[in-house]
Amino acid sequence: MLSKKNIALLAIILAFVVLLTIGCKSVKTKEEFEEEFPQGIPDDETEEEEDETIRETLVYYQDGAGYLVPVMRKIPWEEGIAKATLRKMIDSPEQQPDLMAMGLKPLLPEGTEILGMSIKDGLAKLDLNKKAMEFNSAVEENNMVQGITLTLAGFSTIDRVQFLFDGKIVETLKYGTDVSKPIDPQDVNLELGSSASHDGNKVTVFFHSSPDAVYDYIVPVTRIVEDESISIETAVRELLNGPRDIGLNMDIPVDTKLLGVEVENGITYINFSKEFGELAQMPQSEALVLKSVIMTARQFPNVEEVIIMVEGKEYDGGQISVSAFANEY
């Protein structure tokens, strides 16, 4: 007959065996694990590895009306990424499918070759062959110089660009564009003929292509204003005034007024009058207008998110997703 001490010891041993059996059953086999988690490596780790081979770069093209249009492009990383970016701007059979898909024109004519490029102390010396000097108008010529400079200035190591052609610096191009000295990034699509003094303050407003056009894109315009200081309110009011030149649109409903702008914890609230609510009935224009408003506000520092309001209530015409830049390809 077992003593109480032995009975207690036997009970402990039995309990241990039961726990061990349960524990063993909770351990999955390799096959069971792969069945429950078939992908093995999480998606975010895979995407992170892929992103290291891609550089998002703002590349400038031109539209049919002669405006410079920035497009965020994902360019495969390689040594000499700046030169690789410039090749995306040359009219060539390789680039034609992309250009046709975007509905835009290249800044560098067919036959252009990049003969060399060096970067030192923020200055990029870009050597092109003489084909890069052949343009049909002053607008195309000026767009090439400005667009190339703006594109290259998007790289942290470049502040200005010295153009060379067949290894030599020339004074002016065919239509008079001065390229004798290094070019600084200039105001994109600067409006001319404004009543404001050219010494006035400048603000960038984002208009859009025609809502019935084949291709949709947002176009930045630099406008000279008489305001003593520039604010989000200034920019949005100029947006409501609409474009001054043909080829651009801003289909905000008639009589829409700006009631106010508030910024709180990085969120910018733009409050319009009741007329803005009619935008929900304009499906062809709605996304373009919302993108134009959001991009115009985003040029200001500390604006992390934009919420559009109508008479103090959040606009309910539909959620529009706007990336870091409106034009992407």
pLDDT tens for each residue of 285-310: 998 999 999 999 999 988 888 999 99
Name the 3-class secondary structure at 36. Answer: helix
Query: In this predicted model, which residue has the larger pLDDT, 293 or 36?
Result: 293
Quickly list H helices, the chain. Answer: 4-26, 30-36, 43-51, 81-87, 96-102, 138-152, 232-241, 283-298
Instruction: Check pLDDT > 60 for residue 39.
Output: no
Tokens representing residue 138 in the block: 């002053």
Tally Cβ neighbours within 10 Å of residue 299: 15
Tell me the Ramachandran region of residue 121: left when phi exceeds 0, alpha when psi lies from -120 to 50, beta otherwise: left
Q: How many CA atoms lie within 13 A of 131 on its CB side?
A: 13
What phi, psi does 116 have (nearest 5°)?
A: 180, 160
pLDDT for position 193: 61
Tokens representing residue 9 in the block: 């010891």
d(CA 245, CA 150) in angstroms, rounded, equals 22
d(CA 326, CA 319) in angstroms, rounded, equals 15
Tally Cβ neighbours within 10 Å of residue 24: 8
- Antiparallel, parallel or unpaired: β 201-208 and 54-62: unpaired
pLDDT tier, 179 (very low <50, low <70, confident <90, very high otherwise): very high
Domain ranges, ordered by start, for the chain:
54-165, 201-314
CA distances from 33 to 24, 25, 45, 207 (A): 15, 13, 19, 53
Q: What is the pTM of this model?
A: 0.79
Residue recorded with tokens 């040029």 = 299
The residue among 293, 68, 296 whose CA lies nearest residue 204 is 296
pLDDT for position 198: 61
Q: What is the pLDDT of residues 77-128, one digit of tens each?
A: 888 899 999 999 999 999 999 889 899 999 999 999 999 999 999 999 999 9
Name the 3-class secondary structure at 159. Answer: coil
Contact predicate 219/250, CB 8 Å: no
d(CA 119, CA 162) in angstroms, rounded, equals 10
